[in-house]
Amino acid sequence: MQLFLITLPVFAIIALGYAARALGLVPKGTAMSLSNYVYYFALPAYIIFEVGSRPLHELLEVNTIVAYSIGMIALAVAMSVIGKLLRKNIRFMGMMTLNVMFGSVAYVGVPFTWLAFGERSAPTVAILIALTIALSVFWAMTIGVGTIELGTAAVRHQKYIKRIEIIGKKIFTNPLIIALLIGAAFSVSSWNFPSVFESILKMLTLTAGPVALFAEGAFLQGTHFWADWKGATVLSLLKLLVLPFFTFIAIQFFPMSELNASIALVQSAMPVAATNFIFAQQFKIAPRLVAASTLLSVILSFFTLTGLLYLLPYVGL
């Protein structure tokens, strides 16, 4: 029952957003505006504050970074092999790889992880959340978007250095990566935030979790997963089960505290990020399938995340 009390509030707010959009209380386009607010303002503020207010040595959780990264890279390699075996287009496989790598570590992950682990060690939880968000963004953008870009005719005909430049711009113009760099600058320099700036960051941070969840629900309203249920099921299971499995295996080779390992594992098990649909639309690659996998993975994650929290003590975490 305690595990459901952790999981239920997160998905209840997602359901509220879904219902509000279905009832017409949230007009069309509002979900995107809320999502943009969280993505460009609230979450960057959260990362800047949590990373920038702590010494750099506290952020260098090397084993956690390596293990979490290995889990994502292993899944990307598996997707590449699958793509070659099925002879799929490189741009399509790039989008599918992005889809199964880039989970909702921010919109669902932040509030869920706070509820599950926040009381145990709030500063550590904040740092680990910031790291997992940054790593998810970095690897998903590098491998997923990078593969899509490399499969684009305009990029294929560019010189190698130009390709790196194009992909680099995609990564380092991401607001979450920029926020991490700003936070790291404050951390390295030991600067204190000006009081007014700190107050603004704290206020924005408080809104990140609930607004993100509400926007996620509103964004998913109107998505019909049954149209592509087979593909959506495969992608959902890859994200919810296979990625955590690879992460768990990596954790065995890179010792870390139980709390760090638990957060890394839970963050890797988050559902498909709603923002992947934006990428699918932008690149015009299977937007209906991506939307279907997003909705289905959110529904299934209520059970898989609850089950994962139940299993953690039995695997030594």
Dihedral over Cα of 274, 279, 284, 285: its sign: negative
Query: Amino acid letter at 89?
Result: N
- In this prediction the pTM is 0.77
Q: What is the SS3 assignment for 212?
A: helix
Does the CA dihedral 259-208-220-74 come out positive or negative? negative
Residue pLDDT, tens place only, 215-266: 878 877 876 666 678 888 999 999 999 999 999 999 999 988 888 889 889 9
pLDDT band for position 298 (50/70/90)? confident
Question: Tokens 């139940």, residue?
Answer: 310
Band of pLDDT at residue 74, cut at 50, 70 and 90 = very high
pLDDT digits (tens, 9 = 90+) for 181-217: 888 888 888 788 888 988 999 899 888 778 877 887 8
Q: Is the dihedral of CA 98, 103, 105, 106 positive or negative?
A: positive
What CATH architecture applies to the domain 2-311?
Up-down Bundle (1.20)
Look at residue 89 and give its three-state secondary structure.
coil
| Per-residue pLDDT at 159 | 56
Q: Residue 93 and residue 76: Cα distance in Å, rounded?
A: 10
Non-local (6+) Cβ contacts of 95 within 8 A are: 144, 148, 279, 280, 283, 285, 286, 290
Taking the alpha carbons at both ends of the chain, their separation in whole angstroms is 19
Q: In which residue are the tokens 């299977």 written? A: 286
Q: Does residue 174 carry a pLDDT above 70?
A: yes
Q: Domain limits of the chain?
A: 2-311
> Confidence class of residue 151 from pLDDT cuts 50, 70 and 90?
low
Distance CA 127, CA 269 (A): 18
Question: Which amino acid is located at 178 in the chain?
Answer: I
Q: Are 217 and 16 in contact (CB under 8 A)?
A: yes
* CA distances, 118 to each of 113, 127, 131, 296, 303 (Å): 7, 11, 15, 27, 21
Mean local confidence (pLDDT), 165-173: 66
